Amino acid sequence: MPEPQLCDISVPGRRGMRYPAVDVPKSELPAGLVREELPLPEISEVDVVRHFTRLSQLNYAIDLGMYPLGSCTMKYNPKVNEDAARLSGFALIHPLQPVDTVQGALALMYELQEMLKEIGGFPAVSLQPAAGAHGELTGVLIIRAYHRDRGDTQRKKILIPDSAHGTNPATSAMAGMEVVQLPSDARGNIDLEALRSHCDERLAGLMLTNPNTLGLFEENILEITEMVHAAGGLVYGDGANMNALLGIARPGDLGIDVLHYNLHKTFSTPHGGGGPGSGPVGVSELLADFLPAPVVTIVEEGDEEIPPLYGYSTPAKSIGRVKAFYGHFGMFVRAYTYIRMYGPDGLRKVSEHAVLNANYLRVLLKDTYRVPYDRVCMHEFVAEGRWADAPDIHALDVAKRLMDFDFHPPTNYFPLIVPEALMIEPTETESKETLDAFAAAMLRIAEEARNNPDILHSAPHQTPVGRLDEVKAAKELVLCCGVSAPAI
Ligand SMILES: Cc1ncc(COP(=O)(O)O)c(C=O)c1O
């Protein structure tokens, strides 16, 4: 039975709210602006609350349990971030307000830029990009602008390892670059010989994820960045995996020229379900002039008594605007709060525990689930969800069965170089008890794969909907009354 929608429970005349008395002079609205009919549902407050509470319970959430979705860093979002983002001075301002009325917001953005510079080892940062993929596009446009500015217009080739996230080739292609795939070697690093063979006068840059999407630290990172630079190219760092590096290694010190941060992963701003993210980019000295505008700057220094005056500036050779207004400000407040709550030592511990948790699980599972690149991992690892003696079982079946144990499935079928991939990122916020329970569920599922494969094939068994045609469900999202979701 489809869930009742708001329009199903609407009763004419019911109200859930009252407007305050009008305290300004009444005036007529221009003709044609007001609709004669506005068929909104009419519902009492209690029914609205119950409706949305019930809907929220149909979904899995990080506030309900472990969410080991590799590469996505679904860590717990501390509620203090939400308190800060809801402060009226932050929540109720408008991006078109005069700068002298939003000095507190600008101060926060300026300080966040400074903190990200320090964390990543970059002299300049822009907060504008809306998410990781948008940061990648911004970064590649910056690389393109840099080469064009030097008259190097033939530099169009962007090298991307075969383990990379799909957004890397997509954003490079969107920026009009030519994408060349690099193979990985037997240890999961970039194949150095393949890299060398592409280092020529057409090279614009390399997009590199470190730790990469196998969860492995790129062992030849210094040699790689030197090789690309020697050929006149630049190195783009996909910073989606910064959760392994905080306070331990800075991409800027490793030779990365431009990197995006995923505030919604590393710094715990909520994400999932297509919600707002934030993908600031940090750049080396060489690229600072190309950053998108506007960047928050101090326009008048302060002193011990008077705070500085903040404003915006446009870098000299800016690629222009990449986002309306100034970026996703609510995400800035949350990330700023997270960074300030942890401080430098706390951030380092975040990464240490993320790496420890991933290795703990890897060791518990690796004798049962093959880990093809089996070396000490960073914040995540990739196992295979397949066995020769259970030929009908796939990674998808393991993922679906995990839901019966109240765990969100890991990422599956990515990275593409691992067959039947299960990419597991526990994050630092899970306790040893939770990790043990997750490992126990995984081990039991591996046993069932041989002894009771049907229970995997028919899973999940306790969720509001069973197996969906996922492509169709995403394309034909059901948002209106009386239609059920497309089943397989
Ligand atoms: C390695 C990697 N790069 C880039 C992205 C893109 O980030 P976003 O989802 O914020 O666009 C992701 C997202 O999962 C990722 O895991």
Give me the pLDDT at residue 1, please: 61
Give me the pLDDT at residue 488, please: 55
Structure tokens at 388: 């020769």
Q: How many Cβ atoms sit within 10 Å of the Cβ of residue 391?
A: 9
Q: What is the pLDDT of residues 105-141, one digit of tens each?
A: 999 999 999 999 999 999 999 999 999 999 999 999 9
Cis peptide leading into residue 41 (ω within 30°) = no
Architecture of domain 83-340: 3-Layer(aba) Sandwich (3.40)
Give the residue from 177, 109, 124, 32 showing the smallest Cα distance to 326: 109
Residue whose entry in the numeric block shows the structure tokens 């037997």: 186
- Residue 241 · residue 120 · CB < 8 Å: no
Give me the pLDDT at residue 482, please: 46
Domain boundaries, the chain: 83-340, 348-474
- Residue 230 · residue 184 · CB < 8 Å: no
Give me the pLDDT at residue 473, please: 83
Give me the pLDDT at residue 68, please: 98
Query: Ligand 1: which of 67, 167, 245 to mutate, judged by most atoms within 8 Å of the beta carbon?
Result: 167
Distance, in Å, from the CA atom of 284 to the CA atom of 290, rounded to the nearest integer, reads: 10
Query: Ligand 1: which of 67, 71, 73, 423 to mutate, judged by most atoms within 8 Å of the beta carbon?
Result: 71
Give me the pLDDT at residue 172, please: 98
Q: How many Cβ atoms sit within 10 Å of the Cβ of residue 236?
A: 31
Q: How many Cβ atoms sit within 10 Å of the Cβ of residue 264?
A: 27
The rounded Å distance from CA 137 to ligand 1 centre is 12
Topology of the domain covering 348-474: Aspartate Aminotransferase, domain 1 (3.90.1150)
Who's near 137: CB < 8 A, 6+ residues apart?
A: 129, 171, 174, 175, 322
Structure tokens at 266: 């590393």
Q: Where are the alpha helices (DSSP H) in 121-166?
A: 132-149
Query: Ligand 1: which of 262, 266, 417, 425 to mutate, judged by most atoms within 8 Å of the beta carbon?
Result: 262
Give me the pLDDT at residue 16, please: 86
The rounded Å distance from CA 109 to ligand 1 centre is 23
Task: Provide the 3-class DSSP secondary structure of residue 140.
Answer: helix
Asked if 83-340 and 348-474 have one fold, the answer is no
Structure tokens at 432: 């040893």
Give the residue from 166, 205, 208, 201 showing the smallest Cα distance to 184: 208
- Residue 59 · residue 201 · CB < 8 Å: no
Structure tokens at 326: 């100034």
Pick the residue whose CA is nearest to atom 10 on ligand 1.
132
Q: Where are the alpha helices (DSSP H) in 26-154?
A: 45-57, 79-85, 88-91, 103-120, 132-149
The rounded Å distance from CA 31 to ligand 1 centre is 47
pLDDT less than 50: residues of the chain? 482-483
Give me the pLDDT at residue 2, please: 66
Who's near 463: CB < 8 A, 6+ residues apart?
A: 403
Distance, in Å, from the CA atom of 479 to the CA atom of 5, rounded to the nearest integer, reads: 9
Give me the pLDDT at residue 487, please: 55
How many residues belong to the chain? 488
Who's near 279: CB < 8 A, 6+ residues apart?
A: 129, 130, 131, 132, 133, 134, 135, 136, 138, 260, 261, 262, 263
- For ligand 1, which residues put their CB under 6 angstroms from it? 71-72, 131-133, 165, 167, 209, 213, 238, 240, 262, 277, 279
The rounded Å distance from CA 261 to ligand 1 centre is 10
- Residue 292 · residue 318 · CB < 8 Å: yes
Give me the pLDDT at residue 483, please: 46
The predicted model scores a pTM of 0.92
